[in-house]
Structure formats: structure tokens, C-alpha cells
Amino acid sequence: MLRPERPVGMRDPHQRMLFTGSGYRIGEFSCPPQSPRWAEVNWIGAQAHLVIPSTAVAITAAGGDRYVATANEILLYDQDVHYRRELISQHGDRCLFIIIDDELAQGWPRTSWPRLRHLPLAAGSYARHCLLQTVPLPAEQTEEWVLDLISTVVSALGLAQPPALPARQRAAVEQLKSLLASPGHRPVSLAEYAAAVHYSPFALARMFRAHTGYSIGQFRRQLRLRASVAEVLGRDDLSAVAARHGFSSHSHYTNTFRRAFGFTPSQARARQVLLR
């Protein structure tokens, strides 16, 4: 058996700790495609984690399904979860993680399965996670964001409920998520997506929303927008960012960005609104 890697939260060259708060710690993890970690068994550690991916990566927890984690979702790992990761993005595995101390996690309902759960992540929370990785936020704002996020996750997840879809349908949705998150993917028709996973368009659309909380179009659009946020917070020309992520014009991109996040790319670059 392969030796499990050290848990996130211990001394690790692939991670950088960002903030220590009241009952939690925040860090970022980056595993490049050439890292030997991709062939190893991973161990989340002795404490529960919330994980916000920046890149798409397939995760298979011990005894569970293969799950495609993307920037559209937040993941909750129970304590002591072993899992394997599978490369999807050319950028490897990049994520923000929040280690939940035992005292803060005491009130959480316990379940033996599934031990890795997920739900849609609000666009504003994703933008805040990106900002945390570029500039330090005031401590009180970070505290408010994290504690609200934990409360939302615990309330929204049916922690003791199994997934709503049968395994074969879940696998089809995860296959489509892999396709949508693949580098260089270009949108095709619903009928073509359905043919790729051997379901009717109607059935696939229903299954996808039930499993992810998004329509296929929303999921694809959010992936494009969230992939652009790091570039917006950098120095890239905004028209070039819009074109690179498949938007027809700078104005189309700005309007779509504002509807999703509540502020424009220019305001995000100036670190406005996010700090309110």
C-alpha cells in the first residue's frame, strides 16, 4: 500500500498558511502536475476541512464515488478521510482550505457516509477566497466570512442523507463535469453532452441540477467567470481576459461579471466592494 501523504495543515512544501482565527486556520494548497503526490494516497488529517478549489480535480474518497471538484463548489471533508486525486487541470490542484478545530466542529451532525460532501459555492464567497490569496483582509472581515461560510455549509448540506441520485446517474454527471472543466473545452449543444454520457437531454438536465444545484449552462458560465477572477486581480488587460474566457466583448464580460459577483472587474481589481 502507498504511504499516505501528510495531512493538509502540517508542515508541507505544497501549502502556505494565511490566517489563524477563532477555531479555524486558513491556508492555500498548490500541487503541480509533476508532483509525486498524484500517485499517493492522501489523508485529510485529524480535523475536518472546508476546501474551495481554484482548479478542477477529481477526488475519490476511500469507499466513495469519484467526484470532480471545481471552483463552483465547496467541499466538506470529515476527519480522517483518505482519498486519491486525479489530474484534470493543466495547473494541477490549487485550493484554499479551512481547517476546523475540534471545538468548533463539536456541534456538527455526524455521519458515516458520505465522508466527503459538497454544495454550490456562492459567487461572492469565491471572489473573497481569491482576494484572501492576494492581499490580507482585516481580521474581523475574515472572521465574519469564515464563520458565515461554515454556518451556511452545515445548514445547507443534508449531512445524514445519501446522495439523491443513483450511482450510475451520479457517475454520468461527474463525467460531464470533467468535460466542462477540461482545458480548452468549447460549449456544445445539450444533445451532444447527453450523447456523450448516454442519457436523453431532458434526463441529463434534470440529473445535473439535482446533483450540483446548477443548470449545465450556469455551471459552465460560472466556471468561466471564476477562472477569470485571478487574472482580474492581477495585471492582465481586461479585454484580453474577456476574450480568453470566451466572452464576446469587454462589455459582455463586465455585465456578466457584475451580475454574478455584484461588482465589476475594475472594482475588483481596485480592491473595492470586496473589502466592505
pLDDT tens-place string over residues 149-171: 887 777 776 544 545 689 899 99
16-21 — which CB contacts under 8 Å span 24+ positions?
18/96, 18/132, 18/133, 18/136, 19/132, 19/136, 19/139, 19/142, 21/139, 21/142, 21/143, 21/146
This prediction's pTM = 0.81
pLDDT, position 110:
58
E strands, 32-160, in order: 42-43, 48-53, 57-61, 66-69, 73-77, 82-87, 93-100, 116-120
Q: What are the domain boundaries of the chain?
A: 15-156, 167-269
Which letter does DSSP use for residue 79 in this model?
T
* pLDDT tens by residue, 213-246: 899 989 999 999 999 998 998 888 999 999 998 8
- Integer distance in angstroms from the first to the last C-alpha of the chain? 49
pLDDT, position 115:
79
Mean pLDDT over the full length of the chain: 84
**CA–CA distance, 150 with 156 (Å, rounded to integer):** 10
The neighbouring-strand residues paired with 43 are 82
- Is it the case that residue 23 has pLDDT exceeding 90? no
pLDDT, position 208:
92
Q: Which CATH class is domain 15-156?
A: mainly beta
**CA–CA distance, 251 with 242 (Å, rounded to integer):** 9
- Is it the case that residue 276 has pLDDT exceeding 60? no
The reply to whether domains 15-156 and 167-269 share a CATH topology is: no
Domain 167-269 CATH assignment equals 3.40.50.1820: no
Three-state SS at 268: helix
- Segment among 51-55, 95-99, 105-109, 180-184 with least mean pLDDT: 105-109
* pLDDT tens by residue, 31-84: 999 999 999 999 999 998 999 999 999 999 988 889 999 999 999 898 889 999
Q: Which of 31, 161, 45 is nearest to 98 (CA)?
A: 45
- Is it the case that residue 101 has pLDDT exceeding 60? yes
- Segment among 92-106, 132-146, 248-262 with least mean pLDDT: 132-146
pLDDT, position 153:
78
State mean pLDDT over 258-267: 89
